[in-house]
Amino acid sequence: MKKRGTGRKKRRLIFDRKGIEAFAIRLKEVRKKTGISQSQLAFEAGISLSQVARIETARINPTLSTVFAVARALNVSISELFLFNLPTE
Amino acid sequence: MKKRGTGRKKRRLIFDRKGIEAFAIRLKEVRKKTGISQSQLAFEAGISLSQVARIETARINPTLSTVFAVARALNVSISELFLFNLPTE
DNA sequence: CCCACTTATAGCACAAGTGCTATAAATATT
DNA sequence: AATATTTATAGCACTTGTGCTATAAGTGGG
């Protein structure tokens, strides 16, 4: 008996764990290289500190706007932030 | 008199309109180059058609997972999808 | 051992992304 | 022109990203 409500089809959202993890690693790497703290990055990017931490620990699936803000704050191009091999899902 | 509830500070989310628009243009460009329809792209990427349309018309701020899925479906690297100058916000 | 700083978690409230479905509008094709 | 295909909108329900605040855990200096 696994009726979900009234025969509602289950929506499957995507959460690309591997990709998100790869990005997390890359971001931390770039941030470290510029020598700033998560807190400073958050301030510069205009996002919250908790959000930076959540991204670097791959807990969330950030939006493009957030990524753009981070790239600007780190003074790197978007391409540079994605210099890693996107793992096959 | 513009009290919002009980003195709650307004949270400001970011929505990088210019960046999102630049990405929309770039995506449409890459998709066209591969000669597939929004519908096909959606299917290949495992996302909904409405989502592809919303992205290409810059109506939403997609997540990284969505972008990753699209890149895989188009057989391009993430960097390639971001081959445009990120406009200053 | 303290202390300051940094990073990681947690919970709440709210805003927004996403899937799904349906439909309209625009664009090709015959 | 008529038809088919593609693209754009819209609304709903559900899920999740985000800010904010607080707190714990890790780290390095003195």
pLDDT, tens only, B14-72: 999 999 999 999 999 999 999 999 999 999 999 999 999 999 999 999 999 999 999 99
Query: Which residues, other chains included, contact B61 with Cβ-Cβ below 8 Å and sequence gap of 6+?
Result: A63, A64, A65, B15, B16, B20
For residue B53, which of B39, B63, B43 has the smallest C-alpha distance?
A: B39
- Please report the pLDDT score of residue A89 as a whole number: 82
Residues of A with CB under 8 A from a CB of B: 14-16, 19-20, 23, 46-47, 61-69, 71-72, 77-79, 82-83, 86, 88-89
For the ranges A9-23, B12-26, B36-50, B72-86, which has the lowest average pLDDT?
A9-23
Phi then psi for residue A57, to 5 deg, are: -105, 10
Which of the pair, A1 or A34, is modelled with greater confidence? A34
Nucleotides of D under 7 A from a protein CB: 5-11, 14-22
pLDDT above 50 (res B6): no
Q: Cβ contacts (< 8 Å) between B20 and chain A: which residues?
A: 64-65
What's the pTM value of the predicted model, to 2 decimals? 0.91
Residue B63 CA to residue B61 CA, distance in Å, equals: 7
H helix intervals, B1-89: 17-34, 38-45, 49-56, 64-74, 78-81
